[in-house]
Amino acid sequence: MPFLENHHLARQMSQDHIAEASAKAGKRVVLGMSGGVDSSVAAHLLMEQGYAVEGLFMKNWEEDDGSEYCTAITDLEDARAVCEKLGLKLHTANFSAEYWDNVFEHFLGEYKRWRTPNPDILCNREIKFQQFVDYATSLGADYIATGHYVRRSGGLDTQQPFKILKGVDDKKDQTYFLQAVPAKQLEKCLFPLGDLEKTKVREIASDLGLANDKKKDSTGICFIGERRFADFLATYIKDVPGPIKDKQGRTLGEHRGLHYYTLGQRQGINIGGVAGRKERPWYVCAKQPQANTLIISQEQSDLLGDWLHADDANWLVEPSFPLKCHARIRYRQEDQACQISQAANGRLLVKFEQAQRAIAPGQYVALYDNDQMIGGAVIEHADKR
């Protein structure tokens, strides 16, 4: 009897596998190709799963073309080489105008408000999961795909509820960067790398003979590249110097412009030893825009806050308040226990069980229920209880 049961189970599993493969066969997937190892291996994995895969290289920046700061030309060459190796068609699209209007103008606007924006999150919402989705659909795609280290479950052709889950590799999990993307956009996307460690991805690339198997990960925004960030901002925002003071109001130096500094910053303050003070580092603990003053402190406690207000929330799961969950206020941070309530105007109040360091307005807070990302919002204000 056990043999018959096992035989029946094996036959059912085989039938399920055939049905799944049949459902994928002929389904057209347009994959965002960056020229990096992640999207390259994602293409291979999708092909193995039976999808009809095509690549799309997105150009998002026109300034500095051909300069040492932007790698777009090299990245396109790498993407073409991978597609030729794998036998894929590669499309190219220029979303530079959309990027300037919907991402870069916001980026500059936030700095002019003395806040700390995260253009990568906005780029995902406005470009990679908006313009890209629309363009791929015009090409006849059934789904889109990216090389993000994110898992999904349900949705698509299943009867299961759609969920976005953390990637298996906790050092590479990129759910934080997708928190602002509406669920209806994410539902159309496949994430082939979510169940893999980064080391395994490079190993697959090496086994395939891909020339970019050891290519370094992109760590910054293309239009900034390897140049000094302060020099880049100076091209677009006028410097307005002002005093640097401690919490007692004593002037210790002069700042270049409040937009160059973020809460918790230690480097670049240029304050040396101060008479009567201990030899400890100084940190940015506050900005006073009306007085054009930067406030610094040597006390770590001055950087702590245990609550924040957040706005412009994007929910992937319908919330019920008060909501107990976990949050991250920066990429690669460990999950922090919190409770969330909502004001009548929709603004969120997030109270943490443990005080958080350097909660920066303009940044994002991502919200989780264990491995599932349930939403996110833009940080507006933070303080101690």
User: Which residues are designated catalytic?
Assistant: 123, 222
Torsion angle defined by CA atoms of residues 18, 24, 25 and 28, in that order, rounded to the nearest 10 degrees: 180
Residue 13 structure tokens: 């599993």
* DSSP letters for 16-30: HHHHHHHHHTT-EEE
Rounded-to-integer distance, Cα 112 and Cα 151, Å: 36
**Number of residues that make up the chain:** 385
CA 241 – CA 126 distance, rounded (Å): 34
Please identify which residue in the block is written with the tokens 């807070």: 365
For 72, phi and psi rounded to 5 degrees?
-60, -40
| Beta pairing class for 90-94 and 52-59 | parallel
- The C-alpha atoms of residue 57 and residue 74 are separated, in whole angstroms, by 12
How far, in whole angstroms, is CA 76 from its chain's centroid?
A: 22
